[in-house]
Amino acid sequence: MPFVLGIDAAWTEGEPSGVALAQIDGTHSRVLCVAPSYEQFVQAGDGIRVDWGARQLRGSEPDIARLLSAARRLGAGIVDLIALDIPLAKTPITSRRASDKAVSKAYGSKGCSTHSPSATRPGPVSEALGRQLKDAGYMLETLPPTPLHSFRAIEVYPHPALLTLLGRDFRIPYKVANSTRYWKGAPIQLRLERLVGELRSIYHPLESKLGALPFVLPTVSEIAGPSQLKRYEDALDALVCAWIGIEHLNGKTTAYGDANSVIWIP
């Protein structure tokens, strides 16, 4: 029964990163834990419940060893696959990679081109994650794939994956930071309603794929502003990463990239 760790890694240390732990149990999957930050996931491993109402979530340096240790305490004997939403490569990242170009070519018309990575953003964060994955024994899977390697790490990209999950043909407008761009001139109440609606459109299909999720989305009346939805956005992204990892283990992903970097998409 394989375990998958999904990480929606922030490109800077100042922003929190969502983390999700899921298990494949025969033909079904289940979520053992999901948290909107590294620290809350580690604390969950110590038996402290995730506080979805915390006033402020802090970003921190990624620490793969601590996350894997927390995963073990949460019930994962061994994490078989780590799926991360952040640029990764076998050589230093200084500009757009073959994987970025391939995904943008395939999904650009659907609004799902990739962001352009650089040596400064997410440079140090990506480099740290790459070192930590290697130290923990996780091989970054590129081309050709290495199915016989026990522990693997893959780079994933939720935006195009969500098109498959939701059966849509254009990028899902669920990013809190972009709400004023999605709905220019719309009053905040309308933007909140639409954001919550889009987050729910992701939540329910994930629930059908992964089983009951260990948190509920707030209603519009329960939140004061869009920023309070960011933690749920990050948690859902982490769950999407975990779902992509499960699809990858089941042989249902496509590789976009080369021997240096690959983005895997269902």
Sign of the torsion angle spanned by Cα atoms 43, 47, 50, 55: negative
The stretch 223-247 carries a mean pLDDT of 95
Please list, in sequence order, all residues whose beta carbon lies within 8 angstroms of the beta carbon of residue 234, skipping any fewer than 6 positions away. 8, 16, 17, 18, 36, 37
Angle at 252 between CA 25 and CA 91, to 5 degrees: 105
Answer yes or no: are the C-beta atoms of 9 and 190 closer than 8 Å. Answer: no
Q: Give the per-residue pLDDT at 148.
A: 67
The string of pLDDT tens digits covering residues 178-202 is 999 999 999 999 999 999 999 999 9
More confident residue, 261 or 148: 261
- The neighbour count for residue 131, using CB atoms within 10 Å, is 11
Residues 6+ away with beta carbon under 8 Å from 94? 118, 119, 123
pLDDT tens track for 26-64: 788 999 999 999 999 999 999 999 999 988 788 888 999
pLDDT tens-digit series, residues 136-162? 999 999 999 876 667 999 999 999 999
Strand partners, 29: 24
Helix (H) or strand (E) holding 176: none
